[in-house]
Amino acid sequence: MNQNFLPKPLTRKFFQQPTLIMAKSLLGCLLIKETEEGTTSGFIVETEAYIGPEDRAAHSFGNRRTKRTEVMFGEAGYAYTYTMHTHCLLNVVSGELDKPEAILIRAVEPYSGIDLMFERRKIDKLKNLTSGPGKLTKAMGICMEDYGHPLFKQPLYIAEGYEPETISEGKRIGIHNTGEAKEYPWRFWVTGNQFVSK
């Protein structure tokens, strides 16, 4: 619980990087969520980029602007939460204003508040705690209420973490019937990390 590590929230400047560069820069950063029950945090170890107009797999494909994708057209650095079946997913909006780009946080490595995460997930294996986009949001208490929240301010924010030694890249997961979009190598993860989903 009481780490000596003082998280330094990322600055707006960090979010001004091109989407694909930022997807890699986010690896190793610390994602923090503060709630009444306690604070949970984890290092981001897996991300996926979704670049609107040219990406058939993105909700914003063809510049489709709806109530749901609205935040993606806004300024970078905001949270785009989205309900999928029985789960919630967390994205970081990237790209310039009016460019519907975002980065999906697919997995994190638990850092603090691990007891609370176990309580929420009701499982007993550390490895399954946050090794997936829907798992980590449940473990950290992230939901639709966080839609549009700036990720450089409490209670939900991203801070500087560590520098990953090696980064791998490959095809995205969980999308199909989207033509060649599923072939784009826009998934990035920390090489060898056991919390990366598969």
Partner DNA sequence: CGAAAGATTATCT
Partner DNA sequence: GATAATCTTTCGC
Beta bridge mates, 47: 105, 188
84 lies in the binding site for DNA (CB under 7 A): yes
Taking every pair of Cα atoms in the chain, the longest distance, rounded to a whole number of angstroms, is: 48
69 lies in the binding site for DNA (CB under 7 A): yes
CB of 147 to DNA, least distance (A): 8
Question: Which of the ranges 15-23, 30-38, 80-88, 156-164 carries the binding residues for DNA, by CB under 7 A?
Answer: 80-88
- Please pick, from the candidates 36, 66, 124, 163, the single residue that binds DNA as defined by CB under 7 A: 66
Beta bridge mates, 52: none
Measured N-to-C along each axis, helices 133-140 and 114-121 cross at an angle, to the nearest 10 degrees, of 110
Q: How many residues bind DNA (CB under 7 A)?
A: 37
Interface positions, 16-45, toward DNA (CB under 7 A): none
Question: Cα separation of 18 and 81, whole Å?
Answer: 20
Neighbours of 86 (CB within 10 A): 7
CB of 175 to DNA, least distance (A): 4
Secondary structure (3-state) at 157: strand
Interface positions, 129-158, toward DNA (CB under 7 A): 132-135, 144
Interface positions, 157-186, toward DNA (CB under 7 A): 173-175, 177-178
> Cβ(136)–Cβ(107) under 8 Å?
yes
Q: For residue 67, give the nearest of 80, 54, 52, 53 by alpha carbon.
A: 80
CB of 24 to DNA, least distance (A): 17
Return residues touching DNA (CB under 7 A): 48, 50, 57-60, 64, 66-69, 72, 80, 82-87, 89, 91, 102, 104, 121, 123, 128, 132-135, 144, 173-175, 177-178, 197
